[in-house]
Structure 1
Amino acid sequence: MSKLRPPSLSSPQKAIASAAETDTLVLYLLSFLGFCPCLRRCRLRSSQPRYYPMLPYGTIGEAEAALNRTLTFAETLWFNYSVDKSDYFLYCHTILFLFAVFSLAPLPVVIIELLRSSNFERFKIQPKVRLSFAEMFSCYKIVMKLFFLVVGPLQLISYPSVKFIGIRTGLPLPSLGEILMQLIVYFVVEDYSNYWIHRWLHCKWGYEKIHRVHHEYTAPIGFAAPYAHWAEVLILGIPSFLGPAMVPGHLITFWLWISLRQIEAIETHSGYDLPWTPTKYIPFYGGAEYHDYHHYVGGQSQSNFASVFTYCDYIYGTDKGFRYHKNLLAKLKEVSESGRQQNGGSYNFHMPNLKWE
């Protein structure tokens, strides 16, 4: 997006300039501290002062004149909210989105678990494992400690990298098609790179020193999705960043990507294979049952490493244990159905008990 610099600054533009100067100071401070030395070299080559963040328009009229069209409703909302805020301040909203996802997304399944309704019992993957509210809340407290000590600070210091790869905050906003295509790329790239890092974490050193923390929950719950060693949080942040680095988009797309990826992780750790979840319609999607098996087997697991899809495990032959187990359950189900017919339906055999026990 081209930026036209007006000869003089209006009041809104002065506010933008002030915010941008703060933004620049943050960049220089973080690069000086060594967080992003390559960014420091690139930025110090230019001595030209930077007056604007990525939103160079002082009024809606200026924006519409530059774009040669009327702003959409969403663009008007975004303009009114972001016009006097620095890019760094906008990026820090990522912390709020992550906090909301970590705290709220697991709650529906937590309620299902606590109610123990018979309507949901048949969907529980490991029905003999039950966690109390105190145990789940203890997990949440540990996750929040990790969030405030690792995840939050990581977002604060990663801003120069986000700026460097070209995540934009200005107008126009991306179309739905652009957002969808970028999200597909992000999920595929993250899934492939996460697969190999996850396999490395299951080698002897990686598991004993780092990954064993995440596997403390052999029957995972939604709150346990981000429950991990601090080093694992940092390492697995790399695959999440690769997609936006390869195909940079708008900050709104970045927020959507980060939120959806965490919601997906919470869903696969939920412990319930609910049939009506929208992810059932996504090709090659793993889901809760797929990843639950990985936790059920534990540290010795050499199966189901992929974070989102199943194609990597299929191609590299790391889903054989899971497929064997699925076939075994299918045969046992046949036997149980056959037994019910032979005994006139009096054979009391509950299929949920055939799951990961």
Structure 2
Amino acid sequence: MLPFQSIQEAESSLGRNLKFAENLWFKYSANKSDYFLYCHNTIFLLVFYTLLPLPYVIAELLRSNKIERFKIQPKVNNSFKDMFNCYKNVMTIFILVVGPLQLFSFPVIQSIGIRTGLPLPSGTEMLLQMLVYVLIEDYSNYWLHRLLHCKWGYEKIHRVHHEYTAPIGFAAPYAHWAEVLILGFASFLGPMMVPGHMITFWLWMVLRQMEAIETHSGYDFPWSITKFIPFYGGAEYHDYHHFVGKQSHSNFASVFTYCDYIYGTNKGYRYRKSVFGKLREKQNGGKYNISRQDLKAE
């Protein structure tokens, strides 16, 4: 809750007039507790998880020729029932695990110094913090994900996520409840180490959700803005990891590919892409699709 009774009091404390965004923030948050503001994150996760995969659902149901050429595994068909069942399963985990965890983790968020007051962070501050968050999450997620591919971790936990050998947007958080907690920790690690404003925290969680959904979408659209991000993995890169499944020791990356490159865990992907890429591009009009024939060929 803001320690000001009026905008004038806030401006007097800051020694300047409030900016437009700060005015909006004051009007919305002045009489709301920090706990209530933090709970917004749970709502955002629910809303964005529900809405962001819908364009991919429509594409999957329409299967038009114009869209089909961008599907990474074109031989796989997902019915509306299949996708809705995935959504229901994820929502069950969300209601039973993620939601309560979000709500009861507020003392941790409060203790590490995530603030809700004024002034609001500048665009540069938010951008730099987000960069730190994504690098911390990416590196920690790589090793936690790789650990889940050990024999015990895969058979007891991670195999649930790999039930989708051709992932869909709704399957991004589809996993064993223990995996949700394990990999979810990687997303919280950045804000815990470099705490910022609550708005930055909200934005980080939403962007992380957006990235996970795109990576699991099953479609590789050339106009995606992520194509211009250096070392970004994307849907095709992570789709290969799902396609190989249990035997996969490649493409563990969460967002960027540098860890896989440094530690040599993308050699299989690079080999098959280099060998079969040109052939598949000719067959698919410039689009490289992973196929079972590619996987088996050596």
TM superposition score normalised by structure 2: 0.95
- 1:56: which partner in 2? 3
Counterpart for residue 246 of structure 1: 193
| 1:201 equivalenced with 2:152 (yes/no) | no
- Distance in 1 (CA, whole Å) between partners of 2:289 and 2:202 is 40
Aligned length: 291
* Residue of structure 1 equivalent to 2:222: 275
Aligned partner of 1:189 among 130, 133, 136:
136
Partner of 1:70: 17
Match for residue 180 of structure 2?
A: 233
1: distance between equivalents of 2:216 and 2:188? 22
Question: Does the Cα contact within 8 Å between 2:280 and 2:288 map onto a contact in 1?
Answer: no
The CA distance in 2 between the partners of 1:354 and 1:175, in whole Å, is: 42
Q: Which structure ranks higher in relative contact order (CA pairs < 8 Å, sequence separation ≥ 6)?
A: 2
Following superposition, the deviation at residue 284 of structure 1 comes to: 0.5
Pair 1:121 & 2:68 matched: yes
Question: What letter matches 1:64 in structure 2?
Answer: E
Partner of 2:291: 356
Q: Out of 319, 322, 326, which is 2:269 matched to? A: 322
**Contact 1:329/1:354, CA 8 A, preserved across alignment:** no
Cα deviation for residue 301 of structure 1 reads 0.3
Identity %: 70
Sort the Cα spacing of 1:274 and 1:223 in 2 relative to 1 into closer, same or farther, 3 A: same
Question: What's the offset of the Cα at 1:241?
Answer: 1.0
Moved more, 322-331 or 86-95: 322-331
Mapping of residues 7-18 of structure 1, within 5 Å: none
CA distance, structure 1, for counterparts of residue 97 and residue 291 of structure 2: 33
Query: Conserved in 1, the CA contact under 8 Å of 2:72 and 2:218?
Result: yes
- CA contact 2:87–2:170 (8 Å) conserved in 1: yes
Does 1:178 find its partner at 2:113? Answer: no
Contact 1:293 1:356 in 2 (8 A): no
- The Cα of 1:290 is off from its aligned counterpart by 0.3
1-structure distance, mates of 2:278, 2:73: 19
Q: Give the CA deviation at 1:353.
A: 8.3
CA shift, 1:333, in A, is 4.1
| CA distance in 1: counterparts of 2:246 and 2:134, whole angstroms | 26
Report Cα offsets for 1:177-231 as digits up to 9, x if no partner: 1111100100000000000000000000000000000000000000000000000
Distance in 2 separating the partners of 1:197 and 1:184: 20
SS in 1 for 2:82: helix
Ranges in structure 1 where 5+ consecutive residues have no aligned partner: 1-52, 337-348
Residue 159 of structure 1 aligns with an amino acid whose one-letter code is F
Match of 2:106 in 1: 159
Cα drift, residue 354 of structure 1: 4.9
Which structure would you say has the larger Rg? 1
* Distance in 2, Cα, partners of 1:210 & 1:350: 36
Closer, same or farther in 2 for the Cα pair 1:287/1:181, shift >3 Å? same
| Aligned equivalent of 1:214 | 161
Q: How far, CA to CA, are the matches of 1:60 and 1:169 in structure 2?
A: 16
Task: Report the secondary structure of 1:125's partner residue.
Answer: coil
Counterpart among 247, 254, 263 of residue 210 in structure 2:
263
Deviation track 1:91-140 (CA, whole Å, cap 9, x = no partner) reads 01111100011100100111111111111111100000010001000100
Partner SS for 2:21: helix
Conserved 8 A contact 2:70-2:220: yes
Any gaps of 5 or more consecutive residues in structure 2?
293-298
- The answer to whether the Cα contact below 8 Å between 1:129 and 1:219 also exists between their aligned partners in 2 is yes
Q: CA deviation at 1:331?
A: 3.9
CA RMSD across the alignment: 1.2
Does 1:80 pair with 2:15?
A: no
Contact kept, 8 Å, 1:187 with 1:243, in 2: the verdict is: yes
Secondary structure of 1:236's counterpart equals: helix
Task: Report the equivalent of 2:257.
Answer: 310
Determine helix, strand or coil for the equivalent of 1:298.
Answer: helix
CA distance in 2: counterparts of 1:202 and 1:330, whole angstroms: 27
Q: Give yes or no for contact 2:22–2:120 (8 Å, CA) kept in 1.
A: yes
* CA distance in structure 2 between the partners assigned to 1:136 and 1:227 by the alignment: 11
Once the two structures are overlaid, the 10-residue window that deviates more, 275-284 or 289-298, is 275-284
Q: What secondary structure, in the 3-state scheme, does the structure 2 residue paired with 1:271 have?
A: coil
In 1: Cα distance, 2:149 partner to 2:288 partner: 29
Task: Give the structure 2 partner of residue 33 of structure 1.
Answer: none
> In structure 2, what is the Cα distance between the partners aligned to 1:169 and 1:236?
26
Change (3 A) 1:278 1:350: closer
Distance in 2 between residues matched to 1:215 and 1:136, nearest whole Å: 15
